[in-house]
């Protein structure tokens, strides 16, 4: 993360707005913060310190004007431009102890919810192993008596079996 000036360090042009400066600082601070980087601790602290110094200098208008004047005096022939982006440092890291604890508590809450749900259903007499209605013939749903299984490969019932029963004399059909 060696850069000649603050603009190169933050990967922004000298004409960058305050919003662009803030966005660049936030994205780079996530990458180089000692708690979230895979860099050695000393190197990460130094890189983050330089990043903070660059942001503090460029975010204050008076300090920025002074810094720009100093750059023009030191580099009169060289025009200030942004360089190629710095190769990003991977952010993957091991989970911290607090993150592991949160995952453990989440898993325990899910397991407790499942046990509580099943226990309440069982205490209310819910039937857990109920066969699907299309599998059981004749509406028999009790598991104590083995259900009659409909052979799906057999011929379909005749049309007479699909017709509703005829109305009995003296009753209202409804």
Q: Which of 137, 3, 103 is nearest to 58 (CA)?
A: 3
CA distances from 121 to 101, 108, 109, 126 (A): 30, 20, 18, 5
Let me know whether 14 and 49 are in one domain: yes
Let me know whether 102 and 54 are in one domain: no
Per-residue pLDDT of the chain (174 residues; tens, 9 = 90+): 556 788 888 889 888 888 999 999 988 888 888 788 888 888 888 888 999 999 999 998 999 899 888 888 776 555 545 555 666 666 677 888 999 999 999 999 999 999 999 898 888 887 777 777 777 765 555 555 555 655 555 555 555 555 666 666 666 655
Q: What's the domain range around 16?
A: 6-74
| 74, 109, 129 - which closes a domain | 74
Let me know whether 69 and 103 are in one domain: no
């Amino acid at each position: 993360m060696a850069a000649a000036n603050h603009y190169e360090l933050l990967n922004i042009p000298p004409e960058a707005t305050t919003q662009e400066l803030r966005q660049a600082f936030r994205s780079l601070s996530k990458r180089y913060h000692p708690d979230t980087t895979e860099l050695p601790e000393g190197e990460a602290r130094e890189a983050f310190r330089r990043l903070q110094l660059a942001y503090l200098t460029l975010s204050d208008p008076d300090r920025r004007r002074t810094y720009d004047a100093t750059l023009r005096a030191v580099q009169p022939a060289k025009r200030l431009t942004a360089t190629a982006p710095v190769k990003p440092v991977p952010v993957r890291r091991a989970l911290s102890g607090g993150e592991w604890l949160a995952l453990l508590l989440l898993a325990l809450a899910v397991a407790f919810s499942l046990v509580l749900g099943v226990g309440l259903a069982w205490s209310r007499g819910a039937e857990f192993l109920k066969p699907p209605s299309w599998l059981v013939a004749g509406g028999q749903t009790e598991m104590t008596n083995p259900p009659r299984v409909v052979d799906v490969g057999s011929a379909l019932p005749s049309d007479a079996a699909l017709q509703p029963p005829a109305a009995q004399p003296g009753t209202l059909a409804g």
